[in-house]
């Protein structure tokens, strides 16, 4: 049998590489949403290079802080314990130091997170680290791994580096798109605020004035108690709606996080409540560096704000905890106190703002769970899937 033609082998390898790059490029070109673009890349790399597991670290814009932006098939020791994917590690330290710069340095390294585990690794010990850059700006690191690890050829490493370049472009494009969408959302929010102020608020003011006039006329013409009571009720209702309209305008004009991410805003909220005295609150966060869509951050913050206000005002609690946990799959917000509690089944509809919190959670695509008993405190947990 004749020996294989080296030129043919090279052509076959090049065709395979081009096919891989083409499929990844198509997946990235279909997405302007950053999370979906990252997930699509991991899925393509895992399938096409037979590297089952992968994850992507990204740096928060304008900072040197990293967060787990996407993950696929993490071993149980990491997937079931999100805190193990917090903080720094060997590859991130190396990346920050600038040593993962260039194709020659896309290397296979022992994963310092997996090396600390005895069980739950699924046989994983090593991964390849691919640096992600936009020009000279650091974006993050792509890690890929497989239990039956094989040595990566120079061609494989070069292919991974090219994939890293493509992913970097997709990340930069998605962030630019997200920035333009946020700018549009701010403009729309301000427009809605003007509309509410110019229509609803002014209309309710006019109703109040008309009813006050009617009340004055009734006083002049004699005592008509039943009509007066009706007028008083209408006045109260109009004033309540006017106050609600003003609150809605304020909410629209200024986003509640004021330039902070959700984790930072919750930390400030807890600090403010503790400074006022009365309740000691522990705040714990896992995955706090991960950015969320503004709508999700605002909704979760409002839920936390309402829950904390309720426990301060009504629970007689001395201690409470606020726990925020986010992974690439979901975000979980839990507020728990050791207060007096209440009977959930006998809770009047809308009591303590619960109905509003449940509605916010539903609009975010999540669920709100409530547990409470007399004398045993209260626990509220909001879970919102991110996929």
Q: Identify the bridge partners of residue 108 per DSSP, sorted by sequence position.
A: 128
Range in 1-15, 34-48, 101-115, 138-152 with the lowest mean pLDDT:
101-115
357/304 Cα distance (integer angstroms): 9
Architecture of domain 257-387: 2-Layer Sandwich (3.30)
Spatial distance between the Cα atoms of 208 and 203, rounded to a whole number of angstroms: 9
- 3-state DSSP assignment of residue 18: helix
User: Which of 147-156, 254-263, 345-354 is least confident?
Assistant: 345-354
More confident residue, 157 or 336: 336
**Residue 34 contacts residue 171 (beta carbons within 8 Å):** yes
Pairing label, strands 330-337, 367-372: unpaired
Residue 34 — very low, low, confident or very high, per pLDDT cuts 50/70/90? confident
Nearest to 329 by CA among 68, 42, 49: 68
Q: Residue 237: which residues within 8 A CB-CB, separation 6 or more?
A: none
Confidence at 332, pLDDT banded by 50, 70, 90? very high
pLDDT band at residue 187 under the 50/70/90 scheme: low
Q: Measured between alpha carbons, how far is 216 from 228 in angstroms, rounded to an integer?
A: 10
If you average pLDDT over residues 40-64, what whole number do you get? 80
DSSP assignments along 169-194, one per residue: HHHHHHHHHHHHHHHHHHHHHHHHHH
126 phi/psi in degrees, rounded to 5 = -125, 155
End-to-end CA distance of the chain: 53
For residue range 102-136, list pLDDT tens digits in order: 444 455 667 888 887 777 888 787 788 888 888 77
pLDDT at 114: 80
**Confidence band (pLDDT; 50, 70, 90) for 290?**
confident
pLDDT at residue 243, as a whole number: 65
> Is the model's pLDDT at 352 over the cut of 80?
no
pLDDT value at position 102?
Answer: 46
Alpha-helical segments (H) within 90-201: 90-96, 154-196
pLDDT at 357: 86
Q: For 302-327, what is each residue's pLDDT tens digit?
A: 899 889 988 888 888 889 999 999 99
Look at residues 69, 59, 126 and name the one whose alpha carbon lies nearest to residue 96: 59
| Mean pLDDT score, 150-170 | 76
Reported as a single tens digit per residue, the pLDDT across 219-245 is: 666 556 666 666 776 677 677 666 666
Domain ranges of the chain: 6-180, 257-387
Residue with the bigger pLDDT between 67 and 188: it is: 67
The whole-number pLDDT of residue 248 equals 58
Which pair of tokens denotes residue 150?
């094989």
pLDDT tens per residue, range 192-217: 555 555 556 666 666 676 677 666 76
CATH architecture of 6-180: 2-Layer Sandwich (3.30)
* Neighbouring C-alpha atoms within 13 Å toward the C-beta of 362: 6
What are the CA-CA distances from residue 215 to residues 23, 34, 204, 205, 233 (Å)? 74, 59, 17, 16, 11
Model confidence at 350: pLDDT above 50: no
Inter-residue contact 169 to 114 (CB < 8 Å)? no
Angle made by CA atoms 305, 255, 65, in degrees to the nearest 5: 85
Encode pLDDT of 242-287 as tens digits: 666 665 555 554 456 777 889 999 999 999 888 887 789 999 999 8
Residue 182 confidence class, pLDDT cut points 50, 70, 90: low
Pick the more confident residue, 128 or 335: 335
């Amino acid at each position: 049998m004749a020996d294989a033609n080296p030129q043919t082998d090279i052509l076959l390898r090049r065709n395979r590489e081009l096919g891989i790059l083409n499929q990844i490029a198509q997946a990235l070109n279909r997405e302007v949403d950053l999370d979906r673009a990252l997930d699509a890349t991991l899925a393509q790399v895992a399938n096409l290079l037979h590297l089952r597991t992968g994850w992507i670290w990204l740096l928060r814009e304008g900072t040197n802080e990293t967060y787990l932006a996407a993950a696929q098939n993490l071993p149980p020791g990491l997937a079931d314990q999100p805190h193990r994917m917090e903080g720094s590690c060997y590859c991130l330290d190396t990346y920050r130091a600038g040593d993962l710069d260039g194709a020659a340095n896309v290397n296979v390294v022992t994963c310092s997170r997996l090396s600390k585990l005895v069980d739950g690794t699924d046989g994983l010990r090593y991964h390849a680290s691919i640096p992600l850059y936009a020009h000279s700006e650091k974006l993050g690191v792509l890690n890929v791994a497989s239990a039956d690890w094989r040595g990566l050829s120079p061609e494989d490493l070069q292919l991974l580096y090219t994939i890293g370049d493509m992913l970097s472009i997709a990340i930069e494009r998605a962030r630019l798109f997200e920035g333009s969408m946020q700018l549009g959302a701010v403009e729309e929010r301000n427009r809605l605020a003007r509309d509410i102020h110019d229509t609803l608020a002014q209309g309710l003011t006019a109703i109040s004035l008309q009813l006050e006039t009617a009340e004055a006329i009734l006083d002049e013409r004699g005592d008509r108690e039943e009509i007066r009571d009706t007028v008083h009720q209408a006045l109260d209702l109009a004033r309540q709606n006017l106050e609600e309209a003003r609150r809605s305008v304020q909410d629209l004009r200024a986003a509640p996080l004021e330039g902070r991410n959700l984790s930072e805003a919750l930390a400030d909220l807890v600090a403010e409540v503790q400074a006022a005295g009365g309740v000691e609150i522990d705040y714990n966060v896992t995955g706090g560096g991960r950015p969320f869509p503004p709508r999700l951050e605002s909704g979760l913050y409002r839920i936390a704000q309402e829950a904390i206000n309720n426990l301060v005002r009504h629970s007689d609690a001395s201690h409470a905890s606020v726990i925020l946990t986010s992974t690439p799959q979901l975000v979980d917000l839990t507020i728990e106190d050791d207060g007096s509690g209440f009977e959930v089944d006998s809770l009047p509809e809308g009591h303590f703002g619960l109905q509003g919190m449940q509605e916010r959670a539903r609009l975010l695509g999540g669920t709100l769970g409530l547990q409470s008993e007399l004398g045993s405190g209260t626990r509220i947990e909001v879970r919102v899937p991110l996929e």
